[in-house]
Structure 1
Amino acid sequence: MSLTLVHARAQLLETIRIPVAVIGSAFFPAASMLFFVVPFTGDDPVGATFATASMVTFAVMASNLFQYGVGVAEDRAHPWDPYTRSLPVGPVPRFAGRVLAGLVMTFVSLIPVVIIAAVGTEATVSPGGFLAGLGAIMVVALPFTLMGLAIGYGLPSKAALAVAQIVFFPMAFGGGLLSAPGNAPGFIETIAPYLPSRGAVELMWAAVGDFPVSATSMISLVVWTLAMGALAAWGYRRDEGRRFS
């Protein structure tokens, strides 16, 4: 555990030393809140609450896809990464430290969204709903963490950035994150239940409001999580075999 905390601290310090990395992870969700949520749903308590939950999901997706997808790919290009992976303690402390640091940065990226919702909208949530939302964030982060790791271990840094962008935006739109529940265009409503972003945002909607989750969306979220976990593990073993065999 102590080694995990050391690695997490090192990862956080490395990120904080590049302020634009911290600002960038929070910019898109905060900008979306200012341009799409506040003007159109700010005076509607129910609409603003659901829209804020959508932007929280948006932030979790962006933070994890880019942190792990791009961050892991960049680390693999540096000599320090293969050195740490050859140490006798094994990969678990560094891997767990990375995940812990990523979770901290995810919550940091949510701070502007919550502040804008509290100041600029009529969004409301009960204490129980707030705690349920925190729990939902932990669940929601998992498939996108694994997806980011799969990208990071499977691709070089330049390709990882491009693929993360290509994956992120269609998944955000396709999952209905930029629409109110049930108000997305017809083709979006058709494909959304089969994307992990939809299951993720439905969990957030259910945590903060009265929203019935879809069984199809939940099954799809589980399938995507298992598939991304298998792909991330395969990418890690493949990368290790290429460089250490």
Structure 2
Amino acid sequence: MSGLILTHARFQLIETSRTPIAIIGSAIWPAASMLAFVVPYAGDDPHFATYATASMLTFAVMSTNLFQYGVGVADDRVQPWDPYVRTLAAGALPRFAGRLLAGLALMAVALLPVVLISAFLTAATLSPFRFLLAILTTALIAIPFILMGLAIGYSLPPKAAVVVAQVLFLPLAFGGGLMTAPGWAPGFVDTVAPYLPTGGSVRLMWAAVGEYPFSPTAVVSLLTWTIALAGVALWAYRRDEGRRFS
């Protein structure tokens, strides 16, 4: 089973590498935001630079998974190869696990420029323990956005999936408070953010990298979003399977 999973992951990475802009594009927005907003305005302040980096990492996690799975899965569904693979005896698990591994690898590529910019161009600092905690938190907060992408990808055709991902992209980022450090967002954003998946995620990241207080509300909200999005993704997958293979 592990061999099949790695084979599917390798196939996904090879397919994506044939369109390099798909890899570069996922890293541009977070890196550009770091260079435009964090480095010149908060780069000399260790406190705010660290929190702003955590915000940009959350931004990269959200955008990469939303487009990688949302648009990528929708595009795969219209290719002749996808119906063939879904009829093989191995089942859906190797495909899903392989896509997950490939997506995490691409997400790491998108996160790397943000980390490098923060390390060399800002005063942000982390202890080894905080750095490890941030890595674990990054993997954790990726789950709801992977599920969101899968729900979009299995529900919509490619052109519609692109539009929906773009429509969700900025409102989730702004509404979740990803564009500011803690306490800098407008009042209505601070009120709404903990109940959005982006807001819950960035609050976990802030708590991982600094002394930001742990928010039970954000955790419960993020868990609720994860369960709900898992249900939608599963429903969309089964509906697509029923329409095309029944």
TM-score, normalized by the shorter chain, greater than 0.5: yes
Structure 1 residue 91: deviation in Å?
0.9
SS at match of 2:137: helix
Structure 2 match to 1:227 = 228
Give the Å deviation of 1:213: 2.3
Provide the residue aligned with 1:44 in structure 2: 45
CA distance in 2, matches of 1:167, 1:222: 19
CA-to-aligned-CA distance 1:42-97 (integer Å, 9 cap, x gap) = 00001000000000000000110000000000000001001000001111101110
Counterpart in the other structure of 2:217? 216
Determine the structure 2 residue equivalent to 1:162.
163
Root mean square deviation of aligned Cα: 0.6
**TM-score of the superposition, structure 1-length normalised?**
0.99
Deviation at 1:7, TM superposition (A): 0.4
SS in 2 for 1:43: coil
Q: What is the match of residue 117 of structure 1? A: 118
| Structure 2 counterpart of 1:206, one-letter code | A
Equivalent pairs: percent with the same residue?
Answer: 63
Cα displacement string for residues 9-60 of structure 1 (whole angstroms, at most 9, x for unaligned residues): 0101111111111100100000000001001100000100000000000000
Mapped to 2, the partners of 1:213 and 1:152 lie a distance apart of 33
For 1:163-202, list aligned pairs within 5 A: 163-202=164-203
User: In the alignment, which residue of structure 1 is the partner of 2:75?
Assistant: 74
Q: What secondary structure sits across from 1:180 in the alignment? A: coil
Pairwise CA distance, 1:123: 0.3
**Residue of structure 2 in register with 1:205 after alignment:** 206
1:21 — aligned with what?
Answer: 22
Counterparts of 1:67 and 1:148, CA distance in 2: 7
Once the two structures are TM-superposed, the CA of residue 180 in structure 1 deviates from its matched residue by 1.2
Deviations 1:184-204 (A, max 9, x none): 001111111110101101111
For 2:73, give the aligned amino acid: V
For residues 13 and 107 of structure 2, the distance between their equivalents in structure 1, rounded to whole angstroms, comes to 12
Q: Structure 1: how far apart are the matches of 2:62 and 2:97?
A: 19
Aligned to 1:141: 142
In the TM superposition, residue 102 of structure 1 has moved relative to its aligned partner by 0.1
Q: Partner of 2:204: helix, strand, or coil?
A: helix
Q: How big is each residue's C-alpha offset from its partner over 1:207-237, in whole Å with a ceiling of 9 and x where there is no partner?
A: 1111112221111100000000000000000
Where does structure 1 lack aligned partners over 5 or more consecutive residues?
none
Q: Which moves more between the two structures, 208-217 or 23-32?
A: 208-217
Aligned mates of 1:24, 1:176 — CA distance in 2? 22
Residue 119 of structure 1: how far off its partner (Å): 1.1
| One-letter amino acid matched to 1:154 | S
How many aligned residue pairs are there? 245
Q: Deviations over 1:167-195 (max 9, x none)?
A: 11101000001111012001111111110
**Match for residue 88 of structure 1?**
89
- Structure 2: where are the runs of 5+ without partners? none
Distance 1:165 1:119 in 2: 31
d(CA) in 1 for partners of 2:181, 2:110: 22
